[in-house]
């Protein structure tokens, strides 16, 4: 485990809190996030992540810096798949465009908390039971298979566990009430559809954590590296959504690239576990090679998508809260 100075943890925490406060202040009023604004915020989040990578490189060493960068890029690439589900959720609940940022902001807060819990547990389990890496590899191989078979297309936001639990706990009205999550009707407190959307977003993130946590633990088993890299990737997720909204359907080969990356990380996990449990003669895949593979796969899949943008295999998904054709709430 890395000997991380307390001030570095403090710097990370202060950066996250100040960034979220600035984001919340800048978007305190409901409004539509345009391409230019999304591009500026995306640039800010990416810059923060890369500056932090430089700090990690000089404070904790080149290996830690490479592992952080690899884990951040891996989580960033996997999070692109989340964007398709966000678009599906917004379309299903017919979320007005001016409310979408507020929903994703709360989704990010929840994701930071949940990932912190899952990653802490994951690091603890891996440090005690190395054999669990084989199980993590199996999860990644299965996730890769599902992506290639496009089984994630069956996701139904209205039937997610969190949404069904919310509807059992209290009534959910049909109409939105601005950015309010609760209103009073006939003297009773009822939820608005906006709260159901937040529940669906959080439920989706829990599902994606099943892939994300094992993948990042293949890069590093240090709590500081895995959590900071995940946090910076998650922080930029909202801006990335609004930047790519309307263009998601053009990346027809991106899912294939993500499947390749997950399979590669699965192989890395198997070699890593075998090296520790079976024989030190079994080679491990160094982090620089992992970083190179992720960069090359993403570059190739995005490049091929831009050369052939039409997606014939995937039915187009509305990106700004417009319901699919023939879809009722």
Cα–Cα distance measured from residue 174 to residue 80, given in angstroms and rounded to the nearest whole number: 30
**pTM of the model as a whole:** 0.81
Residue 65 is encoded by which pair of tokens?
């810096």
201-217 pLDDT, tens digit per residue, is 888 888 778 778 888 88
5-22 pLDDT, tens digit per residue, is 999 999 999 999 998 888
Predicted local distance difference test score (pLDDT) of residue 79: 79
Predicted local distance difference test score (pLDDT) of residue 50: 94
Predicted local distance difference test score (pLDDT) of residue 49: 94
164-173 pLDDT, tens digit per residue, is 888 888 888 8
217-252 pLDDT, tens digit per residue, is 889 889 999 999 999 998 888 888 888 776 666 777
In which element (H, E) is residue 106 found? helix 100-128
Cα–Cα distance measured from residue 269 to residue 85, given in angstroms and rounded to the nearest whole number: 27
Which residues pair with residue 190 across a beta bridge? 183
Cα–Cα distance measured from residue 295 to residue 307, given in angstroms and rounded to the nearest whole number: 18
Residue 180 is encoded by which pair of tokens?
């309010």
Residue stretches of the chain with pLDDT short of 50: 311-329
Cα–Cα distance measured from residue 203 to residue 107, given in angstroms and rounded to the nearest whole number: 10
Cα–Cα distance measured from residue 215 to residue 77, given in angstroms and rounded to the nearest whole number: 11
Predicted local distance difference test score (pLDDT) of residue 309: 58
Predicted local distance difference test score (pLDDT) of residue 60: 94
């Amino acid at each position: 485990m890395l000997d991380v100075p307390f001030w570095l943890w403090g710097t990370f925490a202060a950066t996250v809190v100040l960034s979220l406060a600035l984001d919340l202040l800048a978007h305190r009023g409901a409004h539509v996030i345009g391409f230019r604004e999304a591009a500026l915020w995306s640039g800010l989040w990416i810059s923060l992540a890369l500056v932090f990578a430089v700090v990690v490189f000089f404070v904790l060493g080149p290996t830690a810096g490479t592992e952080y960068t690899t884990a951040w890029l891996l989580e960033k690439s996997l999070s692109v798949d989340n964007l398709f589900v966000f678009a599906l959720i917004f379309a299903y609940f017919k979320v007005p465009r001016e409310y979408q940022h507020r929903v994703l902001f709360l989704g990010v807060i929840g994701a930071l908390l949940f990932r912190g819990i899952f990653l802490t547990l994951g690091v603890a389990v891996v440090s005690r039971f190395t054999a669990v890496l084989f199980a993590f590899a199996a999860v990644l191989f299965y996730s890769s298979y599902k992506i290639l078979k496009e089984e994630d297309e069956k996701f139904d936001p209205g039937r997610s566990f969190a949404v069904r639990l919310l509807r059992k706990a209290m009534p959910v009205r049909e109409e939105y009430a601005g950015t309010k999550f609760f209103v009073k009707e006939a003297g009773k407190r009822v939820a608005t559809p906006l709260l159901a959307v937040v529940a669906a977003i959080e439920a989706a993130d829990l599902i994606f954590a099943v892939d994300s946590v094992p993948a990042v633990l293949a890069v590093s088993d240090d709590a500081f590296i895995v959590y900071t890299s995940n946090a910076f990737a998650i922080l930029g997720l909202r801006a990335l959504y609004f930047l790519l909204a309307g263009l998601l359907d053009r990346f027809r080969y991106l899912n294939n690239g993500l499947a390749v990356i997950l399979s590669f990380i699965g192989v890395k996990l198997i070699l890593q576990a075998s090296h520790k449990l079976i024989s030190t003669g079994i080679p491990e895949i160094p982090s620089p090679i992992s970083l190179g593979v992720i960069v090359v796969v993403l570059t190739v899949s995005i490049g091929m998508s831009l050369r052939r943008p039409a997606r014939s295999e995937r039915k187009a998904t509305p990106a700004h809260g417009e319901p699919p054709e023939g879809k009722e709430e």
